[in-house]
Amino acid sequence: MKRGFTLIELLVVVLIIGILAGVALPQYEKAVMKSRYSNLMATVNALGAAEEAYYMATGQYTNDFEALDITPSGCTLSGDKKTCTYDWGSCQLDATGNDRVVCVNNTSMKNGYAYYFKHGGYAAWGPSCCWALTADRNDKYAKLCESMGARYWAAAALTGYGAGLAYKF
């Protein structure tokens, strides 16, 4: 008597593996996006805290990364020292227009995170916003903002990055 698996048994196993992979892959992608966004939030919050410390010391915010008490690592600083470019996107200090620090990951995801200065003109917007660089509220980038705990606020343009959806924390 020969022992082994029948073709039907092998097909059932392959089918089960395919179903499990079909369920697990989207969940894995969501987890990776949330992890990347959490890192983005941590970077922006650290820059925002440095801006607030700078404000307490000088009475104003700065557009100069070198004036802050932290140094972002792994980025290329622009000539005007207000934009730090990474391989995944960029961070900008905007103390004279939108009163915020914003970082946008526009390579592996289409999301940004903005910290609005406590003493700035846009303080009423709340402390922070998640930006989805999409016009579709059902898009995975918009859903990422919601999964991070932000609530839909408005369709708006993120200066320098284009139109999208704003979500308030």
Provide, rounded to the nearest whole percent, the portion of the chain with pLDDT above 90: 70
Q: What is the reported pTM?
A: 0.83
* Residue 87 tokens, joined: 């391989």
Q: How confident is the model at residue 162 (pLDDT cuts 50, 70, 90)?
A: confident
Residue spans per domain, the chain: 7-168
Whether residue 159 is predicted with pLDDT greater than 80 in this model: the reply is: no
Instruction: Give residue-wise pLDDT tens across range 8-66.
Output: 999 999 999 999 888 888 889 899 999 999 999 999 999 999 999 999 999 999 999 99
End-to-end CA distance of the chain: 67
**How many residues in total does the chain contain?**
169
Instruction: Give residue-wise pLDDT tens across range 55-98.
Output: 999 999 999 999 998 888 889 999 999 999 999 999 999 988 88
What pLDDT does residue 103 have? 94
Q: Is the dihedral of CA 24, 25, 26, 30 positive or negative?
A: positive
